[in-house]
Structure 1
Amino acid sequence: MVDTVLRVAGISKRFGGLQALSDVGLTIERGQVYGLIGPNGAGKTTFFNVITGLYTPDSGTFELAGKPYQPTAVHEVAKAGIARTFQNIRLFAEMTALENVMVGRHIRTGSGLMGAIFRTKGFLEEEAAITTRARELLEYVGIGKFADYKARTLSYGDQRRLEIARALATDPQLIALDEPAAGMNSTEKVVLRELIDRIRKDDRTILLIEHDVKLVMGLCDRVTVLDYGKQIAEGSPYDVQRNEKVIEAYLGQSHAKPGEPNPVVNGEEE
């Protein structure tokens, strides 16, 4: 039996006179890296924001691990089992890398306010466990040596990895990465790709929005393509790369000119 992590169907969202999403749906199986691509303005980020509770959809159904859920608020979505990163890095700049990951881990704790105030035995034991797990995750993403550095002092690529460590700290069923390679140089992208591949091999499930189409095609098991808020293709990277509607969306014509490289295979989204 196939183990489905996320299933959404019929997702629509309008902002005033703009129909940002029209009847979008997808199914992500456990252990997959699932890509979401499309030209600028296609609705990718809107879709991401809907499933992670930042936007309320006008219509649609949601299932997480076979159970209905409503993405009504970011913290509720995180508790349900979806962790996300953002296109624009959102770390606590004046906190250490370790403290940033510990913040993510606290969503799975149970000592409560009174335990924190009176520093009960249960609270202290839980804090020790959180610290240990946070250090493990920093090592996992490759920045363990920076545990005690303030987040703002880390390099751009290391800040991206810190965000991923914080997301992993919530023990998510699905990790949603919003353009994690944005602003990275080629070396940093190689490190990122290796990390995502490692996360997948550890039987975790990833939804990836990314402008670097070449990165998506090299990493993802399945890909959905949006254009003007509509789902124009879904399938394996091989099939999507050769879909006429996808090529048209990227080139603005029905097919590539003779000798012209396929932008969905060789190029990055502009």
Structure 2
Amino acid sequence: MSQNKETLLFVNGVSKRFGGLQALNDVSLTIERGQVYGLIGPNGAGKTTFFNVITGLYTPDSGEFVLGGVSYKPTAVHDVAKAGIARTFQNIRLFSDMTALENVMVGRHIRSRSGLLGAILRSKGFQQEEAAIAKRAQELLDYVGIGQFADYKARTLSYGDQRRLEIARALATEPKLLALDEPAAGMNATEKVELRALIERISKDGVTVLLIEHDVKLVMGLCNRVTVLDYGRRIAEGTPAEVQRNEKVIEAYLGHGGAKTAAEATAA
């Protein structure tokens, strides 16, 4: 695998073991700037483990990690966020008793400059920065389509709007790469259409997206390139059309002698 000036994330030879389970085995991928990049595979394939490794939740056993031409070590979540990777979670993780605005402000504070002393003393600089953070948080709520709920407690929002709120909070960190872990999980058909439009907008506005998603139809219609994992190994990588024709992908989803067409396999 190689890098070029358009490479945003370069991950090479990533492995992760949990006791006797080899969750990831020499996984590599390259994501170019501006792409919506899909990561799919059957249950237990290692997709979320991969996400957790590149975002600092899990420490890898081996691997090379380069973001925007700069090597980084995914050993701490806050360091990875500062490097430029933000993520959402398969199971929504919001501060349920805080307002939507406050949730987004939390994400924005990673880029603040005032520090602990300024917060304690309530300095003029701190107050000005807090006002700017609140303004930007409101802009992001408007951007994802829930600006009218800024003062609502997060727990009172609908499921789909909570998903949007989590995306807004991730965007508040000013990421180079937005990693979305099954954002369509639990959504109805209308919400999925709206989610696709939002992800397309985020990509067009300059943020590269890495997407884990069980809704393979959504992935195939949205992503520029796709990697497929199975039992912790990468078994295919390419455009959606190439992946859908790949016999290893068909076998991974449906087993030997399964689908008549690759489209049926990846839609299974």
- 1:77 corresponds in structure 2 to 80
Shift of 1:217: 0.3
Question: Does residue 239 in structure 1 map to residue 255 in structure 2?
Answer: no
Supply the AA of the counterpart residue of 1:48.
F
Question: Does residue 172 in structure 1 map to residue 175 in structure 2?
Answer: yes
- 1:203 corresponds in structure 2 to 206
- Residue 18 (structure 2) aligned to one of 15, 18, 24: 15
- 2:264 corresponds in structure 1 to 262
1:80, 1:261 → 2: CA distance?
37
Shift of 1:179: 0.3
Supply the AA of the counterpart residue of 1:263.
A
1:16, 1:124 → 2: CA distance?
49
Unaligned 5+ segments in structure 2 are: none
Shift of 1:263: 2.4
SS of the aligned residue for 1:104 comes to helix
1:126-147 Cα distance to aligned partner (Å, 9 max, x none): 0010010000000000000000
Supply the AA of the counterpart residue of 2:189.
S
- Residue 217 (structure 1) aligned to one of 194, 217, 220: 220
1:243, 1:252 → 2: CA distance?
13
- 1:248 corresponds in structure 2 to 251
Supply the AA of the counterpart residue of 1:94.
D
Shift of 1:169: 0.1
1:223, 1:2 → 2: CA distance?
20
Shift of 1:261: 6.0
Question: Does residue 159 in structure 1 map to residue 162 in structure 2?
Answer: yes
Aligned length: 265
Alignment of 1:15-164 (within 5 A): 15-164=18-167
1:128, 1:32 → 2: CA distance?
33
1:147, 1:253 → 2: CA distance?
51
Shift of 1:255: 5.1
SS of the aligned residue for 1:226 comes to strand
1:171-228 Cα distance to aligned partner (Å, 9 max, x none): 0010000000001111111110010010011121000000000000000000000000
- 1:190 corresponds in structure 2 to 193
Give me the identity figure in percent: 78
Supply the AA of the counterpart residue of 1:181.
A
Give yes or no for contact 1:225–1:232 (8 Å, CA) kept in 2: yes
Give yes or no for contact 2:225–2:237 (8 Å, CA) kept in 1: yes
Supply the AA of the counterpart residue of 1:262.
E
1:261, 1:120 → 2: CA distance?
59
SS of the aligned residue for 2:163 comes to helix
Supply the AA of the counterpart residue of 2:131.
A
SS of the aligned residue for 1:262 comes to helix
2:167, 2:186 → 1: CA distance?
16
Shift of 1:4: 1.2
